[in-house]
Amino acid sequence: MNFWFELLQNILQIAISPTTAAFVLAAIGLNVHFGFTGLMNMGQAGFMLVGAYGFGVSVSYFGLGFWAAIAVAVGAAVVFAIILGIPTLKLRGDYLAIVTIAAAEVIRMVVKLAVLQDITGGPSGIPGNKYRPVFTELSPLPDGKTTILGITYANTGVDDWWTRIVAWGLVALFLLITWLLIRSPWGRVLKGIREDEDAVRSLGKSSYAYKLQALILGGIMGAFGGVVMALPAAMQPDSMGRPMTFNLWMIVLLGGAATIFGPLLGSILFFVVRLLLTSLAGEFIPSSLLNTQQTEQLAWVLIGLALILLVVFRPQGVLGNKKELSFNV
Amino acid sequence: MTRTTAITVSTKRPLGVALLLTLLLALFLGVFTASPAHAVECVPDAATGCVQGVIKTGAGDPAAGIKLTLKGDGESQSVETDAEGRWAFAITAAGTYSVSVEKSSLPEGQFFKSADTREVEAQLNSQASALFPLTDNEAEASGGETSTTGKGEAASSSSADSFSWPRFWQQFVSGIRMGLLISLASLGLSLIFGTTGLSNFAHGEMVTLGGLLAALFMGLTGNLWIAGLLAVVASAAFGWAQDKVLWKPLRKRRLSLMQLMIVSIGLSITMQYLFQFFWGSGVIRIDKSTPATWTFFGVTLTVQSYIAMGISLLAIIGVGLGLMYTRFGRATRAISDNPALARASGIDVDRVINIVWIIGAGLAGLAGVFLGLVFNGLNWFTGGQLLLMFFAAVTLGGLGTAFGAFIGSMLIGMMVELTNIWLPGDLKYATALLLLILILLVRPQGIFGRKERIG
Amino acid sequence: MSDAAVRSNAHIEGYPYDREALRAELRTLDQVPGVAKRDPILTVDRIERRFGGMTAVNVAHLEVPRGAITALIGPNGAGKTTFFNLITGFDQPSNGQKLIGGGDARWSFNGKDLRRTGASQAARAGMVRTFQLTKALSRMTVLENMLIGANNQPGENIFVGLIPPLWKARERENVERAKDLLARFKLDAKINDMAGDLSGGQKKLLEMARALMSNPAMIMLDEPMAGVNPALTQSLLDHIQALRDDGTTVLFVEHDMHMVRHISDWVVVMAQGEVIAEGLPEEVMTSQAVVDAYLGAHHDKDLGDDDALNTGFMRAIATEIADEVEEETR
Ligand SMILES: Nc1ncnc2c1ncn2[C@@H]1O[C@H](COP(=O)(O)OP(=O)(O)O)[C@@H](O)[C@H]1O
Ligand SMILES: [Mg+2]
């Protein structure tokens, strides 16, 4: 009984954790790219990385304050989107996929460079306590701990309520922004581009400019995801690599591409199901048969298979509408 | 591996509130460690500290498979460096630890530049690092270490970051070698793309599979030639089966190319972790003996490298001639040009595509065997790491043209090895990818590609 | 066409044209390729497009008269679609101007130099095209398709789009306009259907209606009749004529000679990438050059040369076509 109760509590915890929120943020961005505009961005982790490092380096190396550092993070994502977008947005979808994945890898390799050790921390990244204080000092919460539904965290600290409030507040804000934009004429043009770019161009809309705007917007969301991901932990270049991008794709497809709440639902489902898999396996399969590491590997095998099954049998995800499906190449 | 260490340590704790925390932590670590680039991972938090570092060879390449031991706080842990030369220990108590590198696990021709054991002061929720610089120059090695025999491949170079003609020449030939190996894989990738439109993200895993199978068969037969041959045959069979079981049915279901591409990503993830499950995350060596080297016009490579280059070249020429002069080749090109027309003119498109998969997978498997031999070992991510090089090569040449893929591969191979002379080894893949992005900027259809028609 | 919105083309200077006057004026022109018009809306100079070794388009000079319906005809592969692509910025001429240097291709629309503008800018300049293979936005409704055609919606700016009060009013106007146009093209019953569910002919109509949402000065139709139900053909012809009567210049590609002669004021003939003849529909379509082109014969630059039609067989076919043409004129 105890196990099940704790499992339930764990599920709750994982559902509201800042990491989940970070994934939601980045997935909302990816959904703006892929779901609404049809851009095959395979480098969303790169946006998270430039955001996280833009923030972390600004604080830890340049000594900037919180808001300035956030501005740098956003600026870095904008620049990254422009650099990526200019050569690729005129090309066919699969080129964009290859170039974005390549650019995300390049940027990861660059921050890992040993010569940048002083600035980016090289391969080991930047420890959280070097940049977190600028964030925690903004907390209006009183000192101490708070327990909600049996879950206790410090109000303000390393992995605290303050981070959660801000993270989920951002999620709400971005959901609102996408909701407004998708129902606007701007969103209609994006949808048109997703359907047939040449048709939209023949009607006098610069599809290039719209795609670039979408890339920038989704990239900024990704950058916030990166910052939120780094706040309660440390900044790790390799935590924002290819697997991260693939996970985000999984999340967007799971929840339903081109829906407003798909990324939110997808992200929570993704984490909860993984938690269930690993903890159930840990509890009921003797470790002589399957140790923790192997459980983890099998969980990944299942994720891979789930991705295949999902995209083949239910490409619209949980919330999506098959009629509005956005695979068009 | 540290990742296991971190997780097993945490599961040993008593149940209760601590479990909540640790499960969260384990999951957290799971998320972070998910990065296939590194099996070696440690994330510091309130209950964990990390001792970590990267070991590079004198030439600046990551040194994989080096054994390290950490002692202190009454415990002792061992790890091996991963494919990128990284190592990390997770500790659960602050204190002084000593990290030592096992000399016998150094790659051939590598020597300690300074010490082989270091003391580190480690704290929870933070990272401490220790450096173990290596050199390939015996003269630079720290005292007493020079007795090691055998010359590594980069033995002729004097220093990692200075230009000299002999070093250029050495890297140039390495570039040809790299280019040929990339060609093997990217030819298949390009043929598959040309005939089916699929950007196959699981192509890297087909390469890895070849290498891992070769290691398996080597263990069974003991003969490298037989093992290599079996691995290639098995890879080709896997290509056949993959098409029959997965891709052909999906084509029949009329999945869009984007969907197919995501299916291939799912397949890639599945295969990577199956490899880990069955082979572990360490370095697997196909040929465990010390490879003989051969110096030819001032270039020192292993004998196996020369053989690999020769066979690769033959295979590439064979495929090229086959594409140009056989009925199958013409059919392949007809399908690449216009699948509907090809089908209408009586070509059995599915059969041709199936053969393309067999050839593509066989070539990828061969590339894996050679990569495992030439770089003296491979792991579950070797192909995945090179995947972007294959894509870069194919895109550079113009998606879907076989000759373009070959030229693109040679360019990428050269780029990877030659930039190594001037730039840090960490960047050798980055420059190739930058080249890709730049070329797309000026010639989006690739070097040999064609523009699409509108209207 | 009485719709006030479509009428708004009347602001184009020098309009309205009297159709009879326009025809009379066109009749006075030399019927030779590249002849100058009094008031061309589109002027093209030395535009060339090669695919590998093949020259798909090589037009020395062409002027499209304002306010008229101009037909662009020619056998398959003549380069008509490619020419459309070049003019509208969907493709770049091989002799086009590059960032540095480049060739001397030049074309201007409504007095605006279009050499270095992209497809969307060309459209915004007032030259909207349709495609030979229809490009309906399949998973959007017919109404959404129409609304996307409007080019006066401020909400298409990302920042304005965030604040609905800034664009709702214009949206309502555009919906009205879209309904009017759809009614005219007999698509009003389909207004909330997905465009992908329309028939091929309906998609062609929708594409045309959508192109009209922005009141283009010139509309370029690439084979508008292909796939359209014959029962609809007549009404489509009426639409096109009504457009002209409202002041929109029409340039269209068509294979249906009946339609060409029925509604066009001027005909341009292309073959193997070149403009080989130009003139009034009645006359140009019986000219040897055109017959020649449609017969696929290789003709020389000297179109006055009768050699190509020397055999009795050729003559027979030529007269046959001429007869047919006459019959249709009646
Ligand atoms: N993207 C392209 N690549 C190669 N050849 C092309 C391309 N687009 C058109 N062509 C060729 O150019 C010629 C003219 O084509 P097109 O303009 O479509 O003719 P039309 O519309 O008059 O029937 C044809 O021979 C066609 O094959
Ligand atoms: Mg055409």
From chain A, the residues in CB contact with C194 under 8 A are 323
Kindly report the backbone phi and psi dihedral angles of residue C58, in degrees, each rounded to the nearest multiple of 5, phi listed first.
Answer: -150, 85
C164 CA to centre of ligand 1 in angstroms = 44
Task: Work out which ligand 1 atom sits closest to the CA atom of C79.
Answer: 17
pTM of structure: 0.79
Asked whether residue B338 is assigned to any structural domain, the reply reads: yes
B230 and B326 fall within a common domain: yes
pLDDT band at A139 (very low <50, low <70, confident <90, very high): confident
A321 CA to centre of ligand 2 in angstroms = 36
What is the nearest CA distance from B443 to chain C, expressed in angstroms? Answer: 14
**What is the per-residue pLDDT for B157?**
31
The distance of Cα B13 from the centroid of its chain, to the nearest Å, equals 37
- pLDDT 10s digit of each residue in chain B, 455 long? 333 333 333 333 333 333 333 333 333 333 333 333 334 567 665 566 778 888 877 777 778 888 888 887 667 788 888 877 888 887 777 677 888 888 778 877 777 777 777 777 776 656 777 778 787 766 666 543 332 323 333 323 333 456 677 778 888 888 899 999 999 999 999 889 888 888 899 999 999 999 999 999 988 888 889 989 999 999 999 999 999 999 999 888 888 888 888 899 999 999 999 999 888 888 888 887 777 777 777 777 777 888 888 999 999 999 989 888 888 888 888 888 777 788 888 888 888 899 999 999 999 999 999 999 888 888 888 898 889 889 888 888 776 677 888 988 998 898 888 887 777 766 778 888 888 777 777 766 665 555 555 54
User: Any idea which ligand is nearest the CA of C82?
Assistant: 1
B100 and B174 fall within a common domain: no
**ipTM passes above 0.90:** no
User: Any idea which ligand is nearest the CA of C78?
Assistant: 1
Residue A55 has pLDDT above 90, yes or no: yes
B96 and B212 fall within a common domain: no
Q: What is the mean pLDDT of residues A222-248?
A: 89
Residue A186 has pLDDT above 90, yes or no: yes
Tens-place pLDDT, residues C44-91: 988 889 887 888 898 889 999 888 899 998 888 888 999 999 999 888
B306 and B373 fall within a common domain: yes
Residue among B408, B423, B424, B417 nearest B169 (CA): B417
Kindly report the backbone phi and psi dihedral angles of residue A133, in degrees, each rounded to the nearest multiple of 5, phi listed first.
Answer: -50, -40
Specify the long-range contacts of residues A130-136, CB closer than 8 Å, at least 24 apart. Answer: A130/A56, A130/A59, A130/A60, A131/A55, A131/A56, A131/A59, A131/A60, A131/A69, A131/A230, A131/A235, A132/A158, A132/A231, A134/A59, A134/A65, A134/A66, A134/A69, A135/A66, A135/A162, A135/A163, A135/A166, A135/A231, A136/A160, A136/A162
C273 CA to centre of ligand 2 in angstroms = 12
C294 CA to centre of ligand 2 in angstroms = 15
B325 and B429 fall within a common domain: yes
**What is the per-residue pLDDT for B196?**
86
User: Any idea which ligand is nearest the CA of C79?
Assistant: 1
Whole-angstrom distance, CA of residue A242 vs CA of residue A244: 5
Q: How many CB pairs under 8 A join A and C?
A: 110
B175 and B304 fall within a common domain: yes
The distance of Cα B254 from the centroid of its chain, to the nearest Å, equals 32
Is A79 an interface residue toward B (CB < 8 Å)?
Answer: no
Which residues span the domain enclosing B210?
14-35+165-442
**What is the per-residue pLDDT for C101?**
67
DSSP letter (8 states) at residue B142: P
Kindly report the backbone phi and psi dihedral angles of residue B207, in degrees, each rounded to the nearest multiple of 5, phi listed first.
Answer: -65, -50
Ranges of each domain in chain A? 21-241
Backbone dihedral region for residue B85 (phi beyond 0: left; psi -120 to 50: alpha; all else: beta): left
**What is the per-residue pLDDT for C144?**
93
B295 and B426 fall within a common domain: yes
- Tell me: cis bond preceding C16? Omega within 30 of 0 counts: yes
Residues near ion ligand 2 (CB < 5 Å) are C 81, 132
Residue C298 neighbours by CB distance under 10 Å: 9
**What is the per-residue pLDDT for B32?**
34
B341 and B314 fall within a common domain: yes
Residue among C108, C110, C152, C127 nearest C13 (CA): C110
Tens-place pLDDT, residues A170-183: 999 999 999 999 99
**What is the per-residue pLDDT for B209?**
94
Residue among A271, A280, A274, A279 nearest A301 (CA): A274
Domain boundary at B140, B174, B189, which? B140
DSSP letter (8 states) at residue A36: I
User: What does the radius of gyration of chain B's CA atoms come to, in whole angstroms?
Assistant: 24
B185 and B250 fall within a common domain: yes
3-state secondary structure of A317: coil
| CATH assignment at residue B70 | 2.60.40.10
**What is the per-residue pLDDT for B448?**
53
Pocket probe mutation, ligand 1, options C47, C51, C58, C276, max atoms within 8 Å of Cβ: C51
**What is the per-residue pLDDT for A23?**
94
**What is the per-residue pLDDT for A50?**
95
| Number of helices (H), then strands (E), in chain A | 14, 2
C-beta of C318 in contact with ligand 1 (< 6 A): no
C-beta of C9 in contact with ligand 1 (< 6 A): no
Closest C-alpha to ligand 1, atom 6: C51
Residue among B117, B112, B115 nearest B136 (CA): B112
Closest C-alpha to ligand 1, atom 17: C79
Of A185, A204, A205, the CB nearest to C155: A185
Cβ of B395 and A10 within 8 Å? no
From chain B, the residues in CB contact with C224 under 8 A are none
Residues of A (121-150) whose Cβ lies below 8 Å from B: 122-124, 127-129
**What is the per-residue pLDDT for B139?**
61
C209 CA to centre of ligand 1 in angstroms = 26
**What is the per-residue pLDDT for C93?**
86
Kindly report the backbone phi and psi dihedral angles of residue B219, in degrees, each rounded to the nearest multiple of 5, phi listed first.
Answer: -60, -35
Tens-place pLDDT, residues A2-20: 778 888 888 888 888 999 9
Count the residues in chain A: 329
Which domains, and CATH codes, for chain C? 3-296 (3.40.50.300), 301-330 (no CATH)
Cβ of A279 and B86 within 8 Å? no
Tens-place pLDDT, residues A299-316: 889 889 988 998 888 887
**What is the per-residue pLDDT for B37?**
35
Asked whether residue B216 is assigned to any structural domain, the reply reads: yes
Tens-place pLDDT, residues A250-272: 899 888 888 899 899 999 989 88
Of A13, A159, A249, the CB nearest to B262: A249
Chains that touch B (3 or more CB pairs under 8 A): A, C
Closest C-alpha to ligand 1, atom 7: B453
C60 CA to centre of ligand 2 in angstroms = 20
Partners of residue C117 on adjacent β-strands: none
**What is the per-residue pLDDT for A221?**
96
User: Any idea which ligand is nearest the CA of C94?
Assistant: 1
Residue among C170, C168, C40 nearest C110 (CA): C40
* Residue-averaged pLDDT of chain A: 87
B218 and B345 fall within a common domain: yes
B53 and B181 fall within a common domain: no
Pair A156, A139: CB distance under 8 Å: yes
**What is the per-residue pLDDT for A328?**
54
Asked whether residue B252 is assigned to any structural domain, the reply reads: yes
Domain count, chain B: 2
The distance of Cα B339 from the centroid of its chain, to the nearest Å, equals 33
Extract the residue ranges of chain C whose pLDDT is less than 50. 1-15, 298-315, 317, 328-330
Asked whether residue B155 is assigned to any structural domain, the reply reads: no
What is the nearest CA distance from C257 to chain A, expressed in angstroms? Answer: 27
C-beta of C77 in contact with ligand 1 (< 6 A): yes
